[in-house]
């Protein structure tokens, strides 16, 4: 441990979903802002316990879908009815029916891009470095343990008080993580 290592936050380990859910509730009630729960799988009810609002990913996907559909329709209209017209089987140069299937597929394609891109953007992924990933014990967050982390930069943070709060919440193992 180097002397100039800055503390990142307190990490508290929990054994099961119920205890981590209740711990999250008490951390939220204490008014913390810069904190998070780390779990191997999404826990039902955790968003509510942490006070997280509904995700905004849907808007990104909606925007993608709208772009996909309109660009599909416009592209087909411009290519086949404006830029280079060819008469085929007496069919109209542009028909919404004929243009619909490819535009429908593009709606889905761009909607999917929007959903994934939105998720990545909102989560700030990909991320090449995270202080927690250096912490040995934290590797279990993708295995079978549950963690609550409160960052030192939180205005409500105080080493002893915060540690006590996490102890009361039922954590048996609380450590300091360095930046």
Partner 1 sequence: MSDVATDIKVPTVPAELVREPLVQNNRSFGWISDRVSAITEGKTPKWWWAAFIPSVCLLGMLGCMLFYQVTTGVGVWGNHHPTMWGWDIINFVWWIGIGHAGTLISAILFLMRQKWRTAVNRAAEAMTIFAVMCAGIYPAMHVGRVWFDWWLFPIPTYQGLWPQFRSPLMWDVFAVSTYFTVSALFWYVGLIPDLATMRDRAKTKIKQFIYGLFALGWTGSNRHWSNYEKAYLILAGLSTPLVLSVHSIVSLDFAVSQLPGWHTTIFPPYFVAGAVFSGFGMVLTLLIPLRSMCHLEDVITMRHIDVMCKVTLATGCIVSYAYIMEFVIAWYSGSAMEKFHFMNRALGPMWWGWIMMMGCNMIIPQLFWFKKVRSNLVVVFIMSIFVNIGMWFERFVIVVVGLYREFLPSNWDYFKPTWVDICTFLGTFGLFFTMFLLFMRFLPMIAVSEVKGVTPQADPHHPSAGGHGNGGKH
Would you report the helix, strand and coil content of the chain in percent, each value rounded to 5?
Answer: 55, 15, 35
Among 5, 74, 96, 108, binds partner 1 (CB under 8 A): 108
Q: What is the CA radius of gyration of the chain?
A: 25
Among 116, 151, 156, 163, binds partner 1 (CB under 8 A): 116
Contact between 51 and partner 1 by CB under 8 A: the answer reads: no
Minimum CB distance to partner 1 smaller for 101 or for 168: 101
Contact between 84 and partner 1 by CB under 8 A: the answer reads: yes
Residue 127 to residues 21, 121, 131, Cα–Cα distance (Å): 26, 11, 11
Candidate segments 1-9, 54-62, 152-160, 171-179, binder of partner 1 by CB under 8 A = 54-62
Contact between 112 and partner 1 by CB under 8 A: the answer reads: yes
Contact between 130 and partner 1 by CB under 8 A: the answer reads: yes
Contact between 19 and partner 1 by CB under 8 A: the answer reads: yes
Under a CB-based contact definition with an 8 Å cutoff, are residues 178 and 10 in contact? Answer: no
């Amino acid at each position: 441990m180097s002397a100039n290592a800055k503390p990142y936050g307190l990490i508290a380990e929990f054994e099961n979903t119920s205890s981590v859910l209740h711990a999250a509730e008490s951390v939220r009630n204490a008014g913390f802002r810069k904190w998070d729960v780390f779990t191997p799988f999404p826990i039902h009810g955790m968003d509510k316990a942490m006070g997280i609002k509904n995700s905004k990913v849907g808007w990104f996907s909606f925007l993608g879908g709208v772009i996909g559909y309109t660009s599909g329709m416009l592209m087909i209209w411009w290519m086949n009815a404006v830029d280079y017209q060819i008469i085929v089987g007496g069919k109209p140069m542009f028909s919404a029916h004929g243009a619909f299937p490819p535009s429908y597929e593009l709606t889905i394609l761009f909607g999917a891009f929007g959903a994934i891109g939105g998720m990545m953007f909102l989560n700030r992924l990909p991320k090449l470095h995270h202080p927690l990933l250096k912490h040995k014990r934290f590797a279990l967050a993708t295995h079978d343990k549950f963690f609550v982390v409160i960052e030192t930069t939180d205005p409500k943070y105080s080493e002893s008080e915060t540690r006590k709060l996490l102890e009361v919440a039922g954590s048996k193992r609380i450590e300091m993580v360095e930046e």
